[in-house]
DNA sequence: TCCGGCTGTGCAATCGATTGCAATAGCCCA
DNA sequence: TGGGCTATTGCAATCGATTGCACAGCCGGA
């Protein structure tokens, strides 16, 4: 009795705040549990139709909204998904992110995106997300051998990788076929008559860097080009400045390449810078191919020939994989591989004009 | 008695899952409330130092992590901030977002970013965020007269605007000084001898579009240019295609402008397209100025002269304003205005060469 | 020696929703 | 007419953390 009175009073005092399931119940003269059932699609069959309708009407009238924190506390699922991004400002990432969030939003999940690098350690960020009770994680940041992978496996947290994969292939992933992309680039150049093709390789501790390099080497070998005619320079980071330095090294070689394949578009822009430094013209002196087809590389001079990867699809596939993992964690880890596409623009031209 | 036994059993069964405050308490032989106090900086002074140390050690040993959902339920604050973005894929937004999230993360908040447009109505998205218990909202999407603003005010939810402002100035905001930016652009062109300057204006229902247009008109008037020499064409959306169409209309006028100021860089790229269509060269036939200095406009041909706005600072300021609002909602709404900067590149040149 | 005050802990209610179990009513069929 | 069913609904525990209140010591001063 006393307790009832008390809670009535406190409810009245908090009248300005959001209505709860109790308010709806009081208005309908039913028990809160009945309201909960009527409003939950899965439990609705337990409630008489007319009562359910009355409850829904009352909920609407009161502007009732489910409190996700309370639900999460009780059910152990938050409806939150964490996304770890290497750098939100990197123009390649937004399309992927948008694919992820669109799919997850449609399924009722919300996503927390955290930018690694600017803030604390990755481990720590993951722990903070776990504290928030995320139901799963999308990692766009993993290196080939990554402690975070183990950390997540230990925490029994559903995790998928996007864009990059781990060396052991333990975790499900959605990524572009890096080797196939390089093959497209190399075969395009070979078809144009290029025999001396350099490669600016990305960081070798991330899968895109390592696999694109491997794809390059396999493709030039298959094309019958000698190793000394297909030099590789590796960078430590996907930046324009790093691409410039690596390209300068390539151009300083005795046998100068007539074409350069960069591991991504940012590096390719750095290659442009290097050509400018050396007073070489693209494409007449050196052809250049990028990778990713990030926004606006069609606007640079010359417009960049590049490998388009299915970024949105990649994000969507990752989201789908994650939801599958959450639904049934026992499934084997699946690796979704998306086909890349060659986009020919102005930065490649037949060798010898 | 019975209940204690029961909970012990259930705890044992859930051994695999995350340790709770109770586990830590049991390990230290203290009451859960003591653990809560020892672990909360604000309440720590109530606990004896040696006990607090023991508790912290035990928490570490067990790998204890606070359950934010439970805390949020009890305290009524989730530590979550919602961010409504017009389009994550728009290259102008990531720097702003990164300014927002960095600052909020540092203060212990997590951010949920939702992309308006792809998913349901904005109202609905806001309601979903409210259901998640967000402590505040950052809106990068508002139009000048926006129902969402009223909706948030009704919900008594702390809200700040970023990049755009509302007509009434009811809500705190962080934005660039749009008029000053246009003045920089116009004065730069006038100094180069241009007398006939066109403007591709952005959507007039958002503040950036309206204020930049107003700034343009005031500046050309102050420079003594006649209205018929300073035509304005308005677009409905900030897209490259819309910029192209508007620029084609400007170029079709009897008195052709020798310079065009676009309301943002995307529109400016559309202006480039239009010049190409008409067989005109930039900058020799027509100079072009953009706005925002989005990534890579220094790489296009010709490199774009534009107005750089302080995007990161804008995001950070918005985050700071929001936290202030959350701390003390009674404060008057403050408007932070950031100074823009003229970045001269290759798309502008003296009139008549 | 007794009392007021101060520290440090424990107790228990509470946030809002979910769900297993119990209870009731109404119904069907023998 | 009675037994067993089913369809609804209520009850109360529970998720994990926080916090007002009560209480037990312990101190110093009168």
pLDDT of residue A4: 34
Residue range B115-168, pLDDT digits in tens? 887 666 888 888 889 889 999 999 998 888 888 888 887 778 899 999 999 888
| pLDDT exceeds 70 at position B12 | no
| pLDDT exceeds 80 at position A178 | yes
Mean pLDDT of chain A: 90
| pLDDT exceeds 80 at position A120 | no
Q: List phi, psi (to 5°) of A53.
A: -65, -45
pLDDT of residue B144: 81
Residue span(s) of chain B under CATH 3.40.50.2300 come to 77-175+311-337, 178-309
What residues contact residue A349 under an 8 Å CB cut-off, 6+ apart?
A: A192, A283, A284, A287
Residue of chain B minimizing CA distance to A296: B296
| pLDDT exceeds 90 at position A205 | yes
Q: Is B196 exposed, middle or buried (0-12, 13-18, 19+ CB in 10 A)?
A: buried
Sign for the CA dihedral angle at B241, B243, B244, B245 comes to: positive
Mean pLDDT of B2-9: 34
> Which CATH topology does B178-309 take?
Rossmann fold (3.40.50)
Residue range A274-320, pLDDT digits in tens? 999 999 999 999 999 999 999 889 888 899 999 999 999 999 999 99
Contacts with B133 from chain A: Cβ below 8 Å: 67-69
For the beta carbon of residue A298, count every other beta carbon within 10 angstroms.
Answer: 15
| pLDDT exceeds 60 at position B37 | yes
Residue of chain A minimizing CA distance to B302: A301
Mean pLDDT of chain B: 90
What's domain B77-175+311-337's superfamily in CATH?
A: Response regulator (3.40.50.2300)
| pLDDT exceeds 50 at position A12 | no
Locate tokens 């909360």: which residue?
B40
pLDDT of residue B322: 95
Of A69, A113, A130, the CB nearest to B73: A69
pLDDT-wise least confident of A319-328, A337-346, B204-213: A319-328
Q: Between chains, do B98 and A89 touch, taking CB under 8 Å as contact?
A: yes
Mean pLDDT of B178-207: 97
Mean pLDDT of A255-273: 96
Beta pairing, strands B159-162 & B136-139:
parallel
pLDDT of residue A146: 81
pLDDT of residue B124: 85
Of A115, A156, A296, the CB nearest to B98: A115
Residue range B240-265, pLDDT digits in tens? 999 999 999 999 999 999 999 999 99
pLDDT of residue A238: 93
Residue range A140-170, pLDDT digits in tens? 988 888 888 888 877 788 999 999 998 888 8
Q: Please, which pLDDT band fits residue A329 given cuts at 50, 70 and 90?
A: low
pLDDT of residue B311: 94
Residue/partner pairs of B63-66 with CB below 8 Å, 24 or more apart: B63/B19, B64/B18, B64/B19, B64/B20, B64/B21, B64/B23, B64/B24, B65/A127, B65/A130, B65/A131, B65/B18, B66/A131, B66/B39
pLDDT of residue A2: 33
| pLDDT exceeds 70 at position B304 | yes
pLDDT of residue A9: 35
Provide the shortest C-alpha distance from residue B342 to chain A (in Å).
21
Contact between B279 and B61 under an 8 Å Cβ cutoff? The reply is: no
| pLDDT exceeds 80 at position A119 | no
A133 touches strand D (CB under 7 A): no
| pLDDT exceeds 60 at position A13 | no
pLDDT of residue A14: 34
pLDDT of residue A1: 30
What are the structure tokens assigned to A121, written together? 């350690």
pLDDT-wise least confident of A69-83, A104-118, A178-192, A252-266: A104-118
| pLDDT exceeds 60 at position A31 | yes
Tell me which CATH code domain B2-66 carries: 1.10.260
Straight-line distance from CA B4 to C1' C14, in Å? 20
Greater confidence (B150 vs B214) lies with B214
Mean pLDDT of A214-229: 97
Residue range A55-97, pLDDT digits in tens? 999 999 999 999 999 999 999 999 999 999 988 878 888 899 9
pLDDT of residue B353: 66
Q: Between chains, do B69 and A66 touch, taking CB under 8 Å as contact?
A: no
Provide the shortest C-alpha distance from residue B5 to chain A (in Å).
21
The architecture that CATH gives domain A77-176+311-338 is: 3-Layer(aba) Sandwich (3.40)
| pLDDT exceeds 60 at position B15 | no
Residue span(s) of chain A under CATH 3.40.50.2300 come to 77-176+311-338, 178-309
pLDDT of residue A16: 53
| Burial track A148-172 (b if 16+ CB lie within 10 A, e otherwise) | bbebbeebebbbbbbbbbbeeeebb
Q: List phi, psi (to 5°) of A284.
A: -65, -40
Residue span(s) of chain B under CATH 1.10.260 come to 2-66
Measuring alpha carbon to C1', the residue closest to nucleotide C14 is: B74
pLDDT-wise least confident of A123-127, A303-307, B329-333: B329-333
Mean pLDDT of B20-24: 93
Straight-line distance from CA A212 to C1' C23, in Å? 68
Greater confidence (A176 vs B115) lies with A176
């Amino acid at each position: 009795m006393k307790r009832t009175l008390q809670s009535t009073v406190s409810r009245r005092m908090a009248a300005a705040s959001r209505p709860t399931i109790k308010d709806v119940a009081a208005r309908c003269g039913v028990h809160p549990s009945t309201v909960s059932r009527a409003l939950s699609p899965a439990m609705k069959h337990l409630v008489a139709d007319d009562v359910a309708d009355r409850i829904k009407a009352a909920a609407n009238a009161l502007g009732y909204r489910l409190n996700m924190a309370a639900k999460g506390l009780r059910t152990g699922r938050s409806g939150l998904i964490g996304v770890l991004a290497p750098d939100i400002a990197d123009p390649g990432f937004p399309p992927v992110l948008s694919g992820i969030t669109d799919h997850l939003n449609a399924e009722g999940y919300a996503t927390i995106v955290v930018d690694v690098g600017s803030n604390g350690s990755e481990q720590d960020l993951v722990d903070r997300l776990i504290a928030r009770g995320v139901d799963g994680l999308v990692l766009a940041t993993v290196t080939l051998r990554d402690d975070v992978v183990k950390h997540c496996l230990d925490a029994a947290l559903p995790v998928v990788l996007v864009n990059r994969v781990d060396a052991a292939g333990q975790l499900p992933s959605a990524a572009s076929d890096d080797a196939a992309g390089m093959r497209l680039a190399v075969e395009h150049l070979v078809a144009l008559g290029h025999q001396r093709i350099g490669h600016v390789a990305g960081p070798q501790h991330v899968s895109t860097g390592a696999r694109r390099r491997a794809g390059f080497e396999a493709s030039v070998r298959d094309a019958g080009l000698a190793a000394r005619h297909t030099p590789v320079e590796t960078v430590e980071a996907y930046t324009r400045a790093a691409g410039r330095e690596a390209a300068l090294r390539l151009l300083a070689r005795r046998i100068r390449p007539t074409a350069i394949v960069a591991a991504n578009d940012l590096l390719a822009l750095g290659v442009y810078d290097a050509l400018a430094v050396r007073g070489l013209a693209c494409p007449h002196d050196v052809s250049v191919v990028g990778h990713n087809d990030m926004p606006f590389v069609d606007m640079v001079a010359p417009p960049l020939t590049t490998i388009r990867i299915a970024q949105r699809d990649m994000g969507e596939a990752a989201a789908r994989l994650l939801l599958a993992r959450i639904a049934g964690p026992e499934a084997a880890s699946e690796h979704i591989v998306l086909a890349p596409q060659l986009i020919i623009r102005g930065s490649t031209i037949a060798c010898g004009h």
